[in-house]
Amino acid sequence: GDQAISETPLHSRRKSRRIMVGSVPVGGGAPISVQSMTNTVTADINATLQQIAELAAAGCDIVRVAVPSQDDADALPIITKKSPIPVIADIHFQSRYVFQAIDAGCAAVRVNPGNIRKFDQVGPDICKAATEAGISLRIGVNAGSLDKDIYAKYGGPTPEALVESAMKEARMFEDVGFHDFKISVKHHDPITMVQTYRLLASKGDWPLHLGVTEAGPAWQGTIKSCLAFGALLSEGIGDTIRVSLSAPPVEEVKVGCKILEYLGLRQRHFDIISCPSCGRAQVDVIQLAREVTEGLKDITAPIRVAVMGCIVNGPGEAREADLGVASGNGKGQIIIKGKVVQTVPEDQIVPTLLERARAIAADMEAK
């Protein structure tokens, strides 16, 4: 089906209902989308659009922009019109910006019923405006913005507390006949996050937006996101993902895309198989792998290149790849589909690999 690119996915996908975020379907077996959020001042239209273009080029499917002020809300019509991907307005506290975002043509609005004043009263109007505009909403809680009563009842942002809070919001929408929303229940701790989404997934068919919130800088945040998303996605839970890093947003997109690629949920791009090197290595594998990765980072064809430090595993691994090199005696054996096609001196390994890889990639794209 269209849900998994891999022939043998780890798990069948949980059956969620489908919503549209602009042109991007979320849920109901749609490909899992990658989201990020701009960190420019939204009202700085040029900077925001430039960052959105960069995110889209890196594989981002949906982008969210923060709307903390009137100037930001005023920038939305141009941003939504010029963005190459659907734009979600992220709104806290002020319900009037929600209506403005809907009028501005945003693909969706993220509202936090927990901190919108008098949400009981404005909620139905928001649903009505969204229905009329044909757009979707995202609701849900973060550990940090949990309803006070629920917090007190459970003594903290436990999975049960987060799920009860999210379901209370969902019911509020469903009671007025609104169903075009997805839910997030973010937590900064991967274990709590996984338990929370599992519980929520068992309670209904809402499409789920996965996130480990405030996951930390790139290194820690990447690990937390891989663990949490890996656990959930490998159980079939999750319809759209956002990796949160204290790093440039394009890094979030790269991590999100790779998680999906390695789980067989998105078409693979260039990938490298390289050995860790050991006392047997006859070439600087770490440097070689770095140069090959850098030299092929723009390749979109699903090519696999193997870089091996010696002939112990070299030929075997290289056979599994489209292209590989096994080094020894100051030379590199270039291997294509398991056959040695050329032997080059060590200083020619990288240029030869890059040239061959580009030729194979061009071939793949032509097919």
How far, in Å, CA of 65 to CA of 101, rounded? 11
Q: Candidates 60-68, 139-147, 208-216, 278-286 — which segment interacts with ligand SF4 by CB under 6 A?
A: 278-286
Which residues contact residue 294 at a Cβ distance below 8 angstroms, ignoring those fewer than 6 apart?
A: none
Structure tokens at 141: 């809680």
How far, in Å, CA of 233 to CA of 222, rounded? 15
Residue nearest to ligand SF4 (CB): 309
Q: List the x/- string, 256-275, binding to ligand SF4 by CB under 6 A.
A: -------------------x
Q: Please provide the size of the chain in residues.
A: 367
Spatial CA neighbour of 42 closest among 19, 11, 73:
73
Q: Candidates 112-120, 147-155, 309-317, 344-352 — which segment interacts with ligand SF4 by CB under 6 A?
A: 309-317
Contact with ligand SF4 (CB under 6 A) among 308, 321, 323, 334 = 308
Q: Angle at CA 27, nearest 5°, toward 25 and 28?
A: 100
Nearer to ligand SF4 among residue 177 and residue 338 (C-beta): 338
Q: Candidates 110-118, 142-150, 227-235, 307-315 — which segment interacts with ligand SF4 by CB under 6 A?
A: 307-315
CA terminus-to-terminus distance, the chain: 21
- Interface with ligand SF4 includes 207 (CB under 6 A)? no
Q: Candidates 178-186, 191-199, 306-314, 352-360 — which segment interacts with ligand SF4 by CB under 6 A?
A: 306-314
The radius of gyration of the chain from alpha carbons, rounded to an integer in Å, stands at 23
- Minimum distance between the CB of residue 348 and ligand SF4, rounded to whole angstroms? 20
Q: Candidates 75-83, 216-224, 257-265, 310-318 — which segment interacts with ligand SF4 by CB under 6 A?
A: 310-318
- Interface with ligand SF4 includes 312 (CB under 6 A)? yes
User: Within 139-158, which residues bind ligand SF4 (CB under 6 A)?
Assistant: none
How far, in Å, CA of 89 to CA of 36, rounded? 12
How far, in Å, CA of 211 to CA of 187, rounded? 8
- Interface with ligand SF4 includes 288 (CB under 6 A)? no
DSSP code per residue over 4-46: -SSSS-SSPPP----EEETTEEESTTPPPEEEEE--S-TT-HH
- Minimum distance between the CB of residue 279 and ligand SF4, rounded to whole angstroms? 7
Beta strands in the chain (DSSP E): 19-21, 24-26, 33-37, 62-66, 87-91, 108-111, 136-142, 181-186, 209-212, 240-243, 271-274, 304-308, 323-328, 331-336, 339-345
Nearer to ligand SF4 among residue 58 and residue 312 (C-beta): 312
Nearer to ligand SF4 among residue 213 and residue 313 (C-beta): 313
- Interface with ligand SF4 includes 330 (CB under 6 A)? no
- Interface with ligand SF4 includes 280 (CB under 6 A)? yes
Contact with ligand SF4 (CB under 6 A) among 27, 157, 207, 314 = 314
Contact with ligand SF4 (CB under 6 A) among 295, 309, 328, 332 = 309
Contact with ligand SF4 (CB under 6 A) among 57, 152, 278, 340 = 278
- Interface with ligand SF4 includes 25 (CB under 6 A)? no
Check if the beta carbon of residue 216 is closer than 8 Å to that of residue 224.
yes
DSSP, collapsed to helix, strand or coil, labels residue 349 as helix
- Interface with ligand SF4 includes 310 (CB under 6 A)? yes
Q: Which residues in this chain contact ligand SF4 in the complex, by CB under 6 A?
A: 275-278, 280-281, 308-310, 312-314
